[in-house]
Amino acid sequence: MRTDVQQGPEIWIRGPVAVPEEPAPPAGVTPRRYSWVGTHGGAGVTTLASVYGGHDCGREWPGPGDPQSVLLVGRTHAAGLDAVLRALEAFRYGQVPPGVDLDAVVLVADAPGRLPRPLAQRVKAIEEVIDVYRVPWVQAWRLGETDGRPPREAAALARLTGTGRR
C-alpha cells in the first residue's frame, strides 16, 4: 500500500450508525428560555410551547417567575397580523411590563398554501421591524398530535428556542 496517498473516510460501516448528539452549550451558559405570548385568541401558543418548549403565557405578559424573553405569536390571517402589529406598538411605546424583552414574532399559518398578496405584504412590513419566524400549516397539530418532530420549514425556530424536538 502506498503511504504518500491521502486516505479518505471509511465508507463501509457495519451495524447501526449513531446519530451525533447536539453539542452542549459552553460551560456556564444556559440556553435562553422563552415565554410564548399570543397576540389574539387561537394564535397557537399552547401548541408551540408543547412542541418547542418554553412557557405558555396565553395572552398575558410573563409574570415575575416566567422567562422575560418573549416570542409574540399570531396567525397569518388579517386579524392575526393586525393583532401582531398592535402588540409591536405596545412594545414600541413602552406599554409592556418592565423587564419584558421582545425577541421575535412567530407567525403560524392559518391555512395550508401560500399567503395571498395583501397578507404577504403585511408580513413583509412586520419583518422590516423585527425577526419573524414562520411556522407552516401542520395538519397533525390541528388534530392535537404534537409529539412528532417540528416541521422542517421551521428549523430556524427550533434552533432559536433550543428546545424543539429533533
Q: What band does 32 get if pLDDT is binned at 50, 70 and 90? A: confident
Q: Please provide the size of the chain in residues.
A: 166
Q: What is the CA radius of gyration of the chain?
A: 20
Show the domain range for 124.
Answer: 35-161
Burial-class residue 80 by CB neighbours within 10 Å (0-12, 13-18, 19+). buried
| Residues 43 and 80: beta-carbon distance below 8 Å | yes
Structural domain contains residue 106: yes
Do residues 129 and 96 lie in contact, with contact meaning Cβ atoms separated by under 8 Å? no
Residue carrying C-alpha cell 385568541: 41
Report if residue 53 sits inside a domain: yes
CB neighbours (10 Å) of residue 145? 10
Q: What is the CATH number of the domain that holds 143?
A: 3.40.50
**In the chain, how many domains are there?**
1
Q: Is residue 28 part of a domain?
A: no
Q: Is residue 24 included in any domain, yes or no? A: no
pTM (predicted TM-score): 0.80
Residue 53: pLDDT over 50: yes
User: Which residues on adjacent β-strands are paired with residue 1?
Assistant: none
Distance, in Å, from the CA atom of 95 to the CA atom of 107, rounded to the nearest integer, reads 22
pLDDT at residue 14 greater than cutoff 90: no
**92 pLDDT tier (thresholds 50, 70, 90):** very high
CB 80, CB 38: distance < 8 Å = no
Grid coordinates representing 113 are 398554501
